[in-house]
């Protein structure tokens, strides 16, 4: 684990140092092309975005793109393993990873994250229902959508049920009832 952190840190330093030079020398930057063709992670931290199509990237640009993925603290085990293998391979291996391997590795990591949510005894019925639906659909997009928004919304649904139970409990005091009703009135997942 320690060597993985060192490798990740070294790659982050490399990516940070090379990014300005690579961005200013790419043909897409000079022509103003705006279509991003490198898969962008949909986690909270946007790791990889560029205007240069993967097939036109130099080996250094490929390495920087993969280094950014490795440096992302949200990258899962499979993504890290696949990215490391791509870096150890040829330029074509790196291109293949950026085109399809990254998306598929992220989907596997997302499926593991959803399985962990399902294994949590505190997951409510709404969360379990939505998690299972995402796993049943099984596409990388469905898995990512659950983790980014579906989980939060399903948890809010479960929270409404829990608050209703609190309100139905005759032992709930005035302060609890007041705060519970306020949370329901606001209605946002955060308030709930």
C-alpha to C-alpha distance for 145 and 72, rounded to whole angstroms: 19
Residue with token string 């990889």? 48
Mean pLDDT of 99-117: 95
Q: Is the pLDDT of residue 136 over 50?
A: yes
Spacing of C-alpha 139 from chain mean position: 14
> What's the CA gap between 110 and 174, in Å, rounded?
42
**What is residue 106's predicted lDDT score, i.e. its pLDDT?**
95
- Inform me whether the pLDDT recorded for 15 exceeds 70: no
2 pLDDT higher than 90: no
Between helices 102-119 and 125-137, what is the axis angle to 10°?
Answer: 150
Tell me the CA end-to-end span of the chain in Å, nearest whole number: 37
Phi, psi of 185 (to 5 degrees): -65, -45
| Reported pTM | 0.65
Q: Is 4 in a helix, a strand, or coil? A: helix
**Taking 90 as the threshold, does the pLDDT of residue 39 lie above it?**
no
Cα 11 to its chain centre, rounded Å, is 20
The mean pLDDT value for 53-78 works out to 92
Q: Which of 26-30, 57-61, 159-163 has the lowest mean pLDDT?
A: 26-30
Whole-number pLDDT of residue 85: 95
pLDDT of residue 13: 40
The whole-angstrom separation of Cα 192 and Cα 189 is: 5
Confidence of residue 49 (pLDDT cuts 50, 70, 90): low
Task: Give the pLDDT score at 74.
Answer: 87
Q: What is the pLDDT of residue 79?
A: 95
Domain boundaries, the chain: 2-115, 122-186
- Residue 119 is predicted with a pLDDT of 95
What is the percentage of the chain residues whose pLDDT exceeds 70?
Answer: 73
Are 27 and 76 within 8 A, CB to CB?
A: no
Please tell me the predicted confidence (pLDDT) of residue 7. 44
């Amino acid at each position: 684990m320690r060597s993985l952190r060192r490798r990740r840190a070294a790659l982050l330093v490399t990516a940070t140092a090379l990014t300005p030079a690579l961005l200013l020398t790419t043909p897409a930057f000079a022509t103003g092309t705006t279509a991003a063709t490198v898969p962008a992670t949909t986690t909270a931290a946007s790791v990889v975005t560029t205007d240069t199509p993967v097939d036109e990237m130099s080996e250094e640009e490929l390495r920087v793109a993969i280094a950014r993925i490795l440096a992302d603290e949200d990258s899962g085990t499979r993504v890290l393993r696949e990215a490391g293998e791509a870096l150890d391979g040829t330029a074509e291996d790196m291109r293949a990873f950026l085109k399809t391997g990254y998306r598929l590795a992220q989907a596997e990591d997302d499926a593991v994250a959803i399985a962990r949510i399902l294994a949590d005894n505190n997951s409510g019925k709404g969360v379990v229902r939505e998690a299972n639906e995402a796993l049943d659909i099984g596409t990388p997009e469905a898995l990512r959508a659950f983790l980014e928004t579906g989980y939060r919304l399903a948890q809010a649904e479960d929270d409404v049920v829990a608050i209703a139970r609190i309100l139905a409990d005759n032992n709930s005091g005035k302060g609890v009832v007041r705060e519970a009703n306020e949370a329901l009135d606001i209605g946002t997942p955060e308030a709930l």
